[in-house]
């Protein structure tokens, strides 16, 4: 969901998660991490944040500080705006998902030492709330359709061109 004030920072609100999505890096942000993310990750010093206005918008939208992945539905559709890893690896034994072959093999050795290492791995589409911070992956059903005028990122860039 686009919001005029949030759009000025390149962020939008995801109603399903109840979190803010950074459109540039594809990560979810809670109420306490937005300002730090903008300044530290994107080093955005050319704008001034009106903290009162930001807090008012976050309260109005009922933005959460975090999201519990156990609340995701089975067969979760791709969450628009989050980074998508289309070739993640899933553990046959416990369904844990990792982003690289080396990482899933390390997981298998650590968590299933008495089970022989598979010679091949199933690949799945997966997302993370914070892909740069090594948070847990969750499996999703990717959108196979190309972007359209109604997706969050397209709406954001259209709004920028209108100003």
Domain hosting 27: range is: 4-67+148-162
pLDDT tens per residue, range 66-105: 888 888 887 889 988 898 999 999 999 999 999 999 999 9
Checking if the pLDDT of 146 tops 60, the result is no
Is 63 within the bounds of a domain?
yes
- Per-residue pLDDT, averaged over 37-66, amounts to 85
Is 76 within the bounds of a domain?
no
Query: What is the C-alpha separation between 90 and 38, in angstroms, rounded?
Result: 32
Q: Give the pTM.
A: 0.75
Residue 98's beta-bridge partner residues?
89
Task: Determine if residue 134 is left, alpha or beta; phi over 0 gives left, psi from -120 to 50 gives alpha, anything else beta.
Answer: left
Residue 23 CB contacts under 8 Å (≥ 6 apart), including other chains: 10, 11, 12, 81, 152, 153, 156
Gyration radius from the chain CA atoms? 18
DSSP string, 71-85: GSPTTPBP-TTS-EE
Same domain flag for 90 and 122: yes
Same domain flag for 124 and 156: no
Domain count, the chain: 2
């Amino acid at each position: 969901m686009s919001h005029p004030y949030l759009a000025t920072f390149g962020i939008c609100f995801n109603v399903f998660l109840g979190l803010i999505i950074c459109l540039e890096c594809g990560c979810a942000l809670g109420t306490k991490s937005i300002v730090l993310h903008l300044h530290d990750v994107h080093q955005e010093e050319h704008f001034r944040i009106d903290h009162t206005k930001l807090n008012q918008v976050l309260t109005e939208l009922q933005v959460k500080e975090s999201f519990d992945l156990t609340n995701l539905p089975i067969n979760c559709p791709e969450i628009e705006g989050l980074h998508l890893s289309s070739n993640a690896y899933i553990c046959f034994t416990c369904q844990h998902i990792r982003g690289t072959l080396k990482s899933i093999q390390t997981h298998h050795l650590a968590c299933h030492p008495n089970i022989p290492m598979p010679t091949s791995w199933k690949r799945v589409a997966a997302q993370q709330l914070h892909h740069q911070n090594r948070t847990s992956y969750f499996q999703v059903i990717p959108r196979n359709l190309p972007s359209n005028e109604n997706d969050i990122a397209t709406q954001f860039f259209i709004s920028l061109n209108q100003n």
